[in-house]
Chains A and B, each alone.
Chain A
Amino acid sequence: MKSDIVYPLNIGPVHPAFKEPIKFTFRIEGEQVAGVDIDFGYTHRGIEKIALERNYIQIIYLLERVCGICSFSHPLAYCLAIEDVAEIQVPDRARYIRTIIGELERLHSHLLWTGIAAHEIGFDTLFMYTWNIREKVLDCLEEFTGNRINYGMLTIGGVRRDITPENSETITRMLEYYMELYDRASEILLDDLTLRARTEGIGILSREQAEMFCAVGPTARGSGLLKDVRIDYPVNAYYDIPWLNPISPRDIGKEPIGDVYDRMAVRVLEIKQSLNVIQFCMENLPEGDINSGEGAVKIINKLKKLEGEGIGRYEAPRGEVCHYVILDNQEHPIQLKVKAPTYSNGFTWIPMLTNIEIADIPIVIASIDPCVACADRMTFIRKDGAKERYSWDYLHQKSIQKYKRSANQ
């Protein structure tokens, strides 16, 4: 019953396909999508603003909760930024531990994503399966950091907890478990008949488009854009890993066309890559301190007297996160900017979502692994019935004013 009626279909902000509130308005023709409009802002919590009223240690835990899935990447980028300003030297062991947690996080995030993607296309068994094997890395993280999610491991100048021999044994066991599982799991993920039928050839983002929309992370790599902050601007232990290369679907012998399948393939391959990185780090884990040796109070006091700006970049599971701070002899930073991966990747939805079927919407949306929590930059709230909407010009002017102000201060 194809009909040529065009009507808008609202998906979200509350919809079972998205675990996060975001609103899409599609123009639908029959079962085809003719256009899309995206409305962000439902989870805007004003973190950047709150941060300006907190001290430097509190901010870590705040930024951990930008998003619970890459709850390591955001604080890491922040710590890197602060360490950049304060020129704090991070001990080698801490760098390695940071790498290990970061990769564990990537592992869990990619497994989580595969599950969610399977759920979006109704493949609940695969969902259950990936989330079931994901429990292993969560167990490992829990033992290692004290919580399954929101690890609270970072501090400025290092990490808060060491890897005990017991922990390293767990990690080794986890690695064995996954190494053994990987071949079969990747076969299920990459070769399953119905899964391929649902992911191949839809949501195409060409290399040019990926470049144009500044796609980052697996989204960019799925389109064949070899872009990976870990390699381009290495931090942590990534300096020391010579064999680290950006993943692309070419690694399984497929020319990248930038469809959902390619992005999935990139993630599945990155699972393996993460495992190798963790193994490398465990093998080469240097001895020594795990932080700069200064307690929280000391750090706060030290930063109070500093002035300057710093930037931290890190490759979160979803792509590049970038934090920018300005310090100005105060107990709080005077400026904190978060640039989250979904913020860049969100725009790639526009080419991806046109000319697909309704049934493809969830999987295509999920394919960039969106995390609107971190992408919600601004919200329009109509308090007191004020129906005003700001124009681009007005906002542009405002932001210029604001930056001038903070530069003058």
Chain B
Amino acid sequence: MWGKGILNGMRITMRNMLRGPITVKYPYEKIELPERARWAVTPTYNEDGMPKCTACMACIRACPDHILDLEVTTREDKSKHIEHYSYELGACMMCGLCVEACPFDAIEMGHDYELALTSPDELTIDLLADVDAASVKRARPAAEPKPEEPKPEEPKPEEPEEAAE
């Protein structure tokens, strides 16, 4: 008869009501993220606490929105000192292209999703400030477990063709 569909619909909503709510009570219970979840970019460190970053600028070229920036002073013995490694959290779309481009696994996408801040100028974060960059030779063997022939000097060849960007 005419109302059969409506009554069936009522039965379904009652059955769903008896199934009980499925909401996660957020501030008290937190969902644990899957292993590949991509949130804000965070630098990684060696065992001795020094950052793995060798200031090779690969990530800065890889970012589609140009939001990473590195100020580096090169001392005479070719080792580098990172003044600021600024990262605009507000503009980052967390696509993970910089992490894929980094040859030394020096940055990774963190799992911390509570990124709300109170004032807009806090949105530009210094990932690394005033710290010595890891030297390429020491980082290279550690970073490349595969027996690949290590590059003898600074990764210069990538430099010229990028300038046309």
- The yes or no verdict on A and B being binding partners is no
